[in-house]
Structure 1
Amino acid sequence: MKIRTFDERDTDAVIALWQRSFPEYADPAKPQRDPRVSIANKLATQPELFFVGERDGRVIGTIIAGYDGHRGWLYSLAVAEDMRGNGYGRALVEHAESELGKRGCPKVNLQILVGKADVQAFYAKLGYRADEVVSLGKRLQSA
């Protein structure tokens, strides 16, 4: 797998991957999960931290990273179902961590939806542990 920065020509392939990997992205009742809006927002903020994994010309994985000068974040790690179990998810995470490290990022955070025990187990194998914090959120837009 080759890991590279997202290119706008990847949009349709990334959306298809996300809709298979994250069912909530295909849910019209959750307009805040519109993948086109997510992509546009990332391209407006640190687009160099939006990565795709490609194999034989096919987008098989994604990961988005962000860094605000205090903490790094990982989002939207996805690997095509038929490509899982080959280390591609690990490679994408390690690539994003490396890019954050180059920017001086001291710690990486991520959030996992409740009930995703398999995802929690994946990240635990990579050294991620639950922080003793409560994650709060507030929508600033009606969308």
Structure 2
Amino acid sequence: MKIRVFEARDTDAVIALWQRSFPEYADPAKPQRDPRVSIANKLATQPELFLVGEVGARVIGTIMAGYDGHRGWLYSLAVAEEMRGKGFGRALVHHAEAELARLGCPKVNLQVLAAKAGVQAFYAKLGYHADEVVSLGKRLQRA
């Protein structure tokens, strides 16, 4: 797998992958999960941390990272279902971690839905563990 920075030509392939990997991205009742908005927002902020993995000419994985000067975050790790279990997800995470470390990032966080035990197990194998915190959120309405 080749890992590289997202390019505009990847948009349709990334959206299709996300809609298969994250069913809420295909749910019109959740406009906050519109993949086109997510892509546009990421391209406006640290686009060099929006990575895709490709095999041949096919995008088979994605990961987005961010660093605010205090802590790094990982988002939207997705690997095509038929390509899972081959180390591609691990490679994407390690690549994103290396990019964050290069920026001086001392700690990486991520969030996983509580119901996704398999995803939690995947990250545990990579050294991630639950922090003793409560994650709070507030949706800001768009004007």
What range is the shorter-chain TM-score in?
A: over 0.9
- TM superposition shift of 1:32: 0.3
Query: Letter of the aligned partner of 2:117 in structure 1?
Result: A
Separation in structure 1 between the aligned mates of residue 85 and residue 24 of structure 2, nearest angstrom:
23
Query: Letter of the aligned partner of 2:87 in structure 1?
Result: G
Partner of 2:81: 81
> 1:20 is paired with a residue of what secondary structure?
helix
Matched, 1:12 2:12: yes
Partner of 1:45: 45
Partner of 1:36: 36
Separation in structure 2 between the aligned mates of residue 141 and residue 45 of structure 1, nearest angstrom:
20
TM-score, length-normalised on structure 1? 0.98
4+ residue stretches of structure 1 with deviation over 6 A?
none
Separation in structure 2 between the aligned mates of residue 63 and residue 19 of structure 1, nearest angstrom:
14
- TM superposition shift of 1:108: 0.2
Separation in structure 1 between the aligned mates of residue 97 and residue 142 of structure 2, nearest angstrom:
32
Q: Which runs of 5+ in 2 are unaligned?
A: none
1:1-143 maps to which residues of 2 (within 5 A)? Answer: 1-142=1-142
Separation in structure 1 between the aligned mates of residue 43 and residue 100 of structure 2, nearest angstrom:
17
> After the TM superposition, which of the residue ranges 132-141 and 10-19 deviates more from structure 2?
132-141
Query: Letter of the aligned partner of 1:131 in structure 2?
Result: D
> 1:74 is paired with a residue of what secondary structure?
strand
Query: Letter of the aligned partner of 1:18 in structure 2?
Result: W
Separation in structure 2 between the aligned mates of residue 117 and residue 90 of structure 1, nearest angstrom:
17
- TM superposition shift of 1:142: 4.4
> 2:118 is paired with a residue of what secondary structure?
helix
Q: Deviations over 1:80-119 (max 9, x none)?
A: 0010010000000000000000000000000001200000
Separation in structure 2 between the aligned mates of residue 55 and residue 46 of structure 1, nearest angstrom:
24
- TM superposition shift of 1:43: 0.2
**Could you tell me the percent identity over the aligned residues?**
85
Q: Deviations over 1:45-96 (max 9, x none)?
A: 0000000000010000000000000000000000000100100000000000
Q: How many residues align?
A: 143
Q: Which runs of 5+ in 1 are unaligned?
A: none
